[in-house]
Amino acid sequence: MTKLKPSTDIFITCAVTGSGNTTKKSDKVPITPRQIADSCIDAANAGAAIVHIHVRDPKTGKPSRDPSLYAEVVNLIAESKTDVVINLTAGMGGDMVFGPAEQPLPVNEKGTDMAGATERLAHVRDILPEICTIDCGTMNFGEGDYVMTNTPGILQEMSRQVQELGVRPEIECFDTGHLQFAKWLKDKGLIDDPVMIQLCMGIPWGAPDDLHSILAMVSNMPNDWVFSAFSIGRNQLPYVAMAILAGGNVRVGLEDNIYLKRGVLATNKDLVDRAVNIAQSMGCKILGPDEVREKLKLVKRWG
């Protein structure tokens, strides 16, 4: 069992936009490549060592897998000379929306977006970021008939390709079984050291964000794995302290929460500023991009 002790040196990841319906709830959620890049730059200047990037259709605000949009965002960050670790999502392309309860098939084409491993990694192959995410499991996600779909075969192939590219995978675990699957991938030699885990807590219907659940996840993690943790909505900022106390690193950002406090919409910079304040008040040192690169053995290719 992992011996739990609070972190003293932490890094902050900012998840700047995500793929959710947040653009209809807040005008501060970035949509265009320019807005997303500017939000990444602001987050980095506030203290985020890593920016986790999704892209959106600039005209509609809907989530996109277009490699050219990713390239535009990353190029804009590089042109700004801002030093930050680039983390691109590879979670898009695993969306399945079934039909109603009495007729689940055929699947609902509206919202379904299923792609093979190679297609899901097209932008990663083109850009070669320092980190990309792999959602390590399948689960009922939120409401309705939507299922986040990641088969063992697809996950193995994505892991193999990411390893071949020399990109560090951030394994996103939404439930306890996902952590076990990550261990299995490591045992098969498909994830290199140091293993990087993101504990995604409080998302229906995955692991709840209570104290017992995160401690169960962390207690079952190998000692030499590096992890971050976050929760969504109102518990995002309290989870900064929770992640630190559990021995991990921190993620905040508008992908997971759009409020600074009740009724006050946040920017990504606001959320990073608050995370820095919480961490420093707990006696933590905030690691910069180069310190994170050294810790995670990352290959810097941008900026």
What amino acid is encoded at 178 in this protein?
H
Asked whether residue 3 carries a pLDDT value surpassing 70, the answer given is no
Residue 86: CATH number of its domain: 3.20.20.70
Looking at residue 33, its pLDDT comes to 98
Q: Which domain holds residue 268?
A: 9-296
The predicted model gives 210-238 an average pLDDT of: 94
Residue 32 lies in a domain: yes
State the pLDDT confidence band at 154, using cuts at 50, 70 and 90: very high
Q: Evaluate if pTM is beyond 0.85.
A: yes
d(CA 120, CA 18): 16
From residue 132, how far is each of 78, 92, 158, 239 by CA, in Å? 17, 12, 11, 23
Q: Identify the CA nearest to 133 among candidates 101, 174, 77.
A: 174
Residue partners of 69: CB distance under 8 A and separation at least 6: 33, 55, 56, 58
Pairing, β 249-252 against β 12-15: parallel
Residue 1 lies in a domain: no
Residue 164 lies in a domain: yes
Residue 73 lies in a domain: yes
Residue 196 lies in a domain: yes
**Owner of token pair 């990841």:** 13
Q: Structurally, how many domains does the chain consist of?
A: 1
pLDDT tens, position by position, 236-280: 999 999 999 999 999 999 999 999 999 999 999 999 999 999 999
Query: 179, exposed or middle or buried, with CB in 10 Å at 0-12, 13-18, 19+?
Result: buried
Looking at residue 291, its pLDDT comes to 97
Residue 303 lies in a domain: no
Residue 301 lies in a domain: no
